[in-house]
Structures are given as structure tokens and as C-alpha cells.
Structure 1
Amino acid sequence: MIKKAIIPAAGYGTRGLPITKVVPKELFPIGVKPAIHYVVEEALASGIEEILFIVSQSKNLITDYFDRSLELEAFLEKKQSIHLLEKNKIPDIHIQYIRQPYAKGLGDAILLGKNFIGNEPFAVLLPDEIIFDKKTTGLNQLIKVYEKHKKSVLGLYEVEKHLLSNYGVVKSEKIKNEISKVISIVEKPAKNPPSNLAVIGRYVFNPEIFSYLERITPGVGYEIQLTDAINEMMKTENFFGTTILGKRFDISRFEEFLAANQYIQPFME
């Protein structure tokens, strides 16, 4: 069973400037809850029991959000605002934090979680990818594939061709329905992407990924790229991919942030 997850949230969020200079993109509101709240709820609903947030010095608002406000709770109790107390509850899950001193890439951020994970398979959820599904969760779709094959799994999604340069893109062989064997992955291909299947911020890894992250050198953008470690690991271990079902929004793109809010609106009425 997958019980631990890493949520990297230390990036600068440059695509969201200027607001991300003071408000982390992970706290952008989807309805009345911040985006990262939905991601934590997804982890909890998928059986995750412990989460490690990778944050930066400028992301203290994230730690504040998942902390209790005793002053606010006392005020609401005094006012007998029980419905607001319920609304203010944070997900009931064990959370730890570690700071990434420098923004050296997603691979570097995940490597900081090595001691937290230990020798267990684990999940990674990127908080700027929000997935809504009435029947299951995005992460749970990956976990089911992992439980069957015991191999690392990448969450995939069909993306329009002109957007593929923003993602890692896979070359794969279809096995059955949404499941495929991943042959290789290219980080943000400028031209000639190997497919229209992008990796969209949901992963399940065997712990061996850490040894590959420790060995690779900086790649695209002079950062430690998770995709480079995955390609190296593929030389000795099969990787699977599953095309995630459900509605997915990349909130780092303004139009998808707006679309996510439009999508959630009927459920709030």
C-alpha cells in the first residue's frame, strides 16, 4: 500500500506573476478553498497517511493554512458559528515540511524527501494540477496500477499539441484501456514531441528513484530534472503510465484556473 506522499511547493510560480510574488500559486482559490487543499484531500481519499511538503522560505502561507487558528476557532465557538467551524477544518492527515534552499528543480525537491520516505513506494502530487472525478481520484488510478505491477507509474493526460512544450511527454506502448508501458520521456520538447501524452503531476515511485536523482547532473534549465532520473531508471525497471480519467486543470495557466472555478461552481450551490 502507498501510505506516504511528497507534495513539492517550493517553485517561484513565475507564470503567475505578479500575484505569485506575495501569494503562492498553490493557494490560488478554487471556489472557497485553495488549490492545494484539493490535492491534500485527493491524497487522503487515496489512502495516503503522511504528507511531506517541500516549501521555500517564501511559502510560509502554506504552513499557516494547514495549521490550526485557535484564536479564530475560539471566536467562532463564542459566536456559535458551528457551520463555519466545520468549513474551517483542515484535512485530517499527518503533515511535515522541509525547505528547499534553492529552486534547483523538481528532481532536487523530491530528493529532499528521501529520509521521510525511507524504503517504501510513495506518491508525488504536484499542487498546480487539480483533478476532479466523481468515482475515484487521480492518484488512486495510479495506485491501482502500481498494486498490480509493483512498478513505478506516471499519470498521463492527452494535451493539445501547442501545449506539449510545457510538460514532460512520453513515448509509450498501449497495454490495455488507459494503461501503457512507458518507453521514454522528454522534458518540455520544443519540437517533435513523441506523443500527445503529457505527464501531469501524479506519480507513484519505487524508492530506487532516489539513487538515480542523486546521480544525475543538471539538465533543462540547469535544474535537476525528474524526467532525467526516470529515463535512467527505465534502463533497469519497467515504468507504467495510466491516462487519468476525470476533469483535470493546470491552474498555472490562467485560462485553466478560471475554468476550474467555473467547473466547481455548481457543486457549491
Structure 2
Amino acid sequence: MDIRRLQAFAKVYDLRSFSRAGDELMLSQPTISAHIMALEEELGAQLFDRLGRTVLPTQAGDLLHRYCITIFSQLDMAKADILALSQRVSGDLVIGGSTIPAQYIIPGLVARFLKQYPEVRVDLRGGDTSEITAMVLAGDAHAGIVGAPARQPELACRSILEDQLVLVAPRAQAHAGLTGEDWRQRLTELPWVMREAGSGTRQAMEEALLAAGVDPRDLRQVLLVHSSLAVLECVAAGLGVSVVSRMAARGYLESGAVTLMETPELVMQRHFYIVHHARRYMFPALRFFLAASEVV
């Protein structure tokens, strides 16, 4: 089975278009069509339903595409291993990062890694902790750095860095603090800007609140946002208080855009973790990247 025909098939499958597949592969549309027709003749099955300008895979097409993913992955692994024999580390490396790692940890880590292994091509993808973990589990990312430990038994998970969470408030509350016996009551009366449920920051915050005897469901949520930057901008705009990583808040605190609310009874610390699939082949670029993460 000709690999060029399989590449053409996979591109048409992904893009649902013969013309766009041709553009991506720098081939003419008739050439793409000829590759697909040759495959269909060889397999004795129709791979796509051509419905006017719409292209939809058949059941046979879905099946072949699943095998193509394995075939292309095996070829990439073979190339990477052969290059590793000559002490070269190369290939594509997809790294997922939740909000704080993607902004404050991974860039420096990748810069040091690529300085040592310049032939690796890194694709950095973002999401919250649950999304990145799901990407690694599904094979859409080779590794991820997230703000909460992975619970899936298929994933290997290792702590690489400790982080402190802080309670930030609008500048107008510069002298506010949560001390005294009634601090829990006053905490629940504050307007809160909250991260989404899949956020590692939110998970760590809720665990800390529960440990301090506060039910997170009692907080008065006024806004739900999906990034630390959005949280800080909302707090700076006076919409409420929130919990964020000290790394993310540093610039806002130094500029006075937000203020720190002292919470002596509320200890909020967490770790960042690197996760990868423990049961999948670990090609050289991933092995060396995991080793590099040990010195973050």
C-alpha cells in the first residue's frame, strides 16, 4: 500500500475536501483524486461519499483512518529512533499546558530544551488542567504540565514545581484582610470571580477552603472566567476577589492594579505536575524533554 496514497487519504479525511487536501500537500486535485481512487480499487471498498461539494468518509474510510494514525505514528517513531542512533534528537513534540504552566513555566523550559536539541519541533497547546490531561490520555499531546495530579491509571504523573495561591482584591480594598473569628463569614460575603471547574487553580482553592472549614459552594460567585489573566483583569476592574497563582499575580501586585488580601487561616499551596502516557512508546524527544523537566 503506497504511503503517498495513504497520506492523501488521511488529508482528505481530516479536511473533508479534495481541493484543500491538494493545497496542503502541494498536489493537484486530480492527483489527490487519483490516489484515493487507486486506494479504493486496491481495497475493493469506497472510502468517501462524494455528495456534491461535501465529502464524508464511509465506514471503510473511518476504519482505514484509524490504521493510518498508527502507521504514521510508527513511521515517526522509526525516524526518531534511527536519528537517535547518531545522537540526534528530532521530530515533533506536542506539549500541553494549563494556564499558568503555559504562560510562566513551559516557555523557559522549552527554550532550554531547544537550545540543546534544536532539531525538535515543539507544538504548545493550551487548555485547563482537565483538558490537557484528556489530551495526553487520548494521545493528542505527548506530555502536559498541569496544576493538579492526574487520576487516570494510564498516566504517569510527577511533581516538578511548588506554587502558592493568593487571594487578590480590587485596589480599593487595599487595607482589607481576613482575620478574626468571623473571617469565614466575611469570606463568603465577598463577590467572587471564579475559574472554571476544570481549572487546577480552582481545584487547589476548593481543597484549601474545605480544609479550613469553608464550603466552596457558599462563596458568592458573580463571574466565571477561563484564564488567570481574565481573573486578574476582572479583579482590577473591581468586579470581585479571586484566588490566583502568585506567579500570575506578581505584575499586577507590583503595579498596584490589585491588592493582596491576607488570609492567615487559609493556606493555599499546590504543585505543578508533568504527565505523560505510561503505556505508550516514549520516543527520544519525549524522553529528553521529561528529563529536562526534572530541573525546572
Q: TM-score, normalised by structure 1?
A: 0.24
Quick check: which has more Rg, 1 or 2?
Answer: 2
Higher RCO (Cα < 8 Å, 6 or more apart) = 1
**TM-score, normalising length: structure 2:** 0.23
